[in-house]
Every structure is written in C-alpha cells, then in structure tokens.
C-alpha cells in the first residue's frame, strides 16, 4: 500500500510518528477493533449454546421418526422446516438457506458500493447502497416471519411439564417463548431468541447505518469531503454481520 511506505526517515521505525503504521485511518482501525470485541460476544453466545446443548440428552432415534419432546435436544432441521406461503410442506432449512443467500448477496452489493466509492462514482455508490439496504430489510422481514412461526408453533402441540400455582402439571404447548417451549428443552428456545435476536439487532443497526450512508451519499456529503471512507467503515460492519450469520447458520441450524 502506498501510504504505508511513505516518508520514513532512515534508521527510524514507522512507529516513531508521522505515518500511520497500520496503513488505516483512526476510524477504520477502531471499527476493526470494535468488530473484534463483537466477535468475542458472539463467540460467547455460540460456545455457551454448544456447552448447554452437549449437557442435554441428544436425540438418538431415526431422524425421520423425530417428534418434539422436552426430554432431548431437538434436531434443528426438524424445527426449521417451514417456508412462507407453503404451509403444510416439510422443507427443512430451505427458508434459512434463502436468508443466507439474501445476506451474502447484500454483502456483495456492499463491497461493490465500496469499490464505486474508491472511484468517486456517486451514482454507483447510491445504486449499490440502495440494493444493500433492500437486502438488509428483506433479511429482517424473513427473520420476523421466522420468529412469528417459531413463537406461534406448528399445528400439533407437544406435552410439556409446567410449574403452575405450586404444582407440576402437564399441558399441551404450541410454539415457544422464554417461559415454555414445545420444540425441546427450554434453553433451546432461549438460545434461539438470544442468538438470532442479537444477530438480528446487528442487522437492524446495520440497515440504519447503511441508510445514513446512503442519505449522505445522495446529498453529496462524501463528494464534498473528497472521499467515501465512511462507506468502507460501515461496509466492514455490514460484512461482519454476514460473517456472524455464517457461524450462526452452521452452529444453530446445520449441526
């Protein structure tokens, strides 16, 4: 990179001042370190999920004969098998696959916006930022549908033990929330809400930031500033959201 090899006095280290040794601006550097800390937060959530899951009974029988029970941890592909407008069909993980596709595509449009910013091409930045925002909103809408489906539940209830008025009763449960869960042990629902919720909140803030960047691009703020580095910084955040989803997808839905 050109600016990292800039004016270094012979015999002096790049850390002696006058240059940026990491070849990145303060803002970009701090975005990287923030993302690193955020990676630890998500790792904490996912590792705890793995720990709690492994301390529960695993489902031993045939996957085709799987039924929901609070006795064992559910097989994820049996929980997430619904797709909007296709009620009654068993389409395991298809909807999650669509969501993954949407998020990867919005990552591509984001990086194309960054590329356009390097060329000072305002029209192209506007176009790609708009596509990225559309991708983000679509993903959030998909997640809203998935949450609704998860909370409301399937057509058939599961018998779950619940502690009501000082005694244990067995009742029919549809869907799941933070108190009761038809799909399996209670922590399964709790982790679903916490992990996908925390990720979804990141997507939500990402969409807000993307909109801010889009607005500033349209009003010509970055053109007057002479560079589109803000697109790069927010781009880093947006790619990180995609990165986290890759891990959530594997550890929550596939494994």
Partner 1 sequence: MAHHAHEPEVTVLPPDKAKIKKLWTVALYLLLITIVEFIIAFTVPHEYKQLRVWVFVALTIVKAAYIVGEFMHLRYEVKVLFWSILIPTIFIIWMIVAFVYEGIKMPVFY
What is the contact surface with partner 1 in residues (CB under 8 A)?
1, 4, 21-24, 29, 32, 36, 39-40, 43-44, 47-48, 50-52, 54-57, 63, 71-72, 75, 77, 92-93, 97, 100-101, 104-105, 107-108, 110-112, 115-116, 118-122, 124, 185, 220, 223-224, 226, 235-236, 239-240, 242-243, 246-247, 249-250, 254-255
Using the minimum distance from each CB to partner 1, give the nearer residue, 127 or 149: 127
**Least distance between partner 1 and beta carbon 79 (Å):** 14
Tokens of 98: 């669509």
Q: Residue 163 forms beta bridges with which residues?
A: 168
The one-character DSSP state at 93 is: T
| Inter-residue contact 70 to 185 (CB < 8 Å) | yes
CB of 30 to partner 1, least distance (A): 12
Nearer to partner 1, 84 or 220 (CB): 220
Q: Which is nearer to partner 1, 12 or 118 (CB)?
A: 118
Closest CB to partner 1 among residues 75, 130: 75
Q: Is 29 or 151 the residue whose CB approaches partner 1 more closely?
A: 29
| Least gap, CB of 100 to partner 1 (angstroms) | 6
What is residue 81's three-state secondary structure?
Answer: coil
* Contact criterion met (CB below 8 Å) for 113 and 218: no
Give the span between the Cα atoms of 207 and 29, in whole angstroms: 21
Closer to partner 1 by Cβ: residue 165 or 170: 170
Other beta carbons less than 10 A from residue 137's beta carbon: 17
Query: What whole-number distance in Å separates Cα of residue 181 and Cα of residue 155?
Result: 14
Beta carbons within 8 Å of 217's beta carbon, 6+ residues apart: 122, 125, 126, 129, 223, 228, 231
Query: Would you say 5 or 148 has its CB closer to partner 1?
Result: 5
Provide, rounded to whole angstroms, the least separation between the CB of residue 182 and partner 1.
17
CB 233 within 8 A of CB 213: no
Is the CB of residue 97 less than 8 Å from the CB of residue 250?
Answer: no
Minimal distance in Å, beta carbon 113 to partner 1?
11
What DSSP character marks residue 63?
G
Residue 212 Cβ, how far from partner 1 at the closest point, in Å?
A: 20
Distance of closest approach, residue 223 Cβ to partner 1, in angstroms: 6
Residue carrying the six token digits 């399937």: 154
């Amino acid at each position: 990179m050109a600016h990292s090899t800039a004016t270094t006095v012979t015999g002096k280290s790049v850390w002696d001042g006058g240059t940026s040794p990491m070849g990145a601006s303060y803002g970009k550097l701090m975005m990287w370190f923030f993302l690193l800390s955020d990676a630890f937060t998500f790792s904490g959530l996912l590792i705890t999920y793995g720990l709690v899951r492994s301390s529960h009974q695993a489902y031993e029988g045939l996957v085709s004969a799987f039924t929901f029970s609070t006795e064992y941890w559910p097989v994820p592909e049996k929980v997430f098998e619904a797709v909007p407008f296709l009620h009654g069909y068993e389409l395991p993980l298809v909807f999650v696959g669509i969501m993954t596709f949407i998020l990867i595509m919005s990552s591509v449009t984001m990086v194309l916006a960054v590329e356009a910013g390097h060329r000072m091409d305002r029209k192209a930045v506007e176009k790609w930022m708009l596509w990225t925002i559309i991708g983000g909103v679509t993903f959030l809408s998909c997640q809203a549908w998935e949450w609704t489906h998860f909370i409301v539940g399937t057509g058939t209830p599961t018998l779950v033990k619940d502690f009501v008025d000082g005694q244990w009763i067995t009742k029919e449960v549809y869907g799941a929330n933070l108190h009761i869960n038809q799909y399996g042990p209670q922590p399964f629902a709790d982790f679903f809400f916490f992990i996908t919720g925390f990720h979804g909140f990141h997507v939500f803030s990402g969409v807000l930031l993307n909109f801010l960047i889009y607005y500033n691009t349209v009003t010509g703020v970055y053109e007057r500033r002479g560079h589109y580095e803000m697109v790069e910084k927010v781009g880093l955040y947006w790619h990180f959201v995609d990165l986290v989803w890759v891990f959530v997808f594997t550890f929550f839905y596939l494994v």
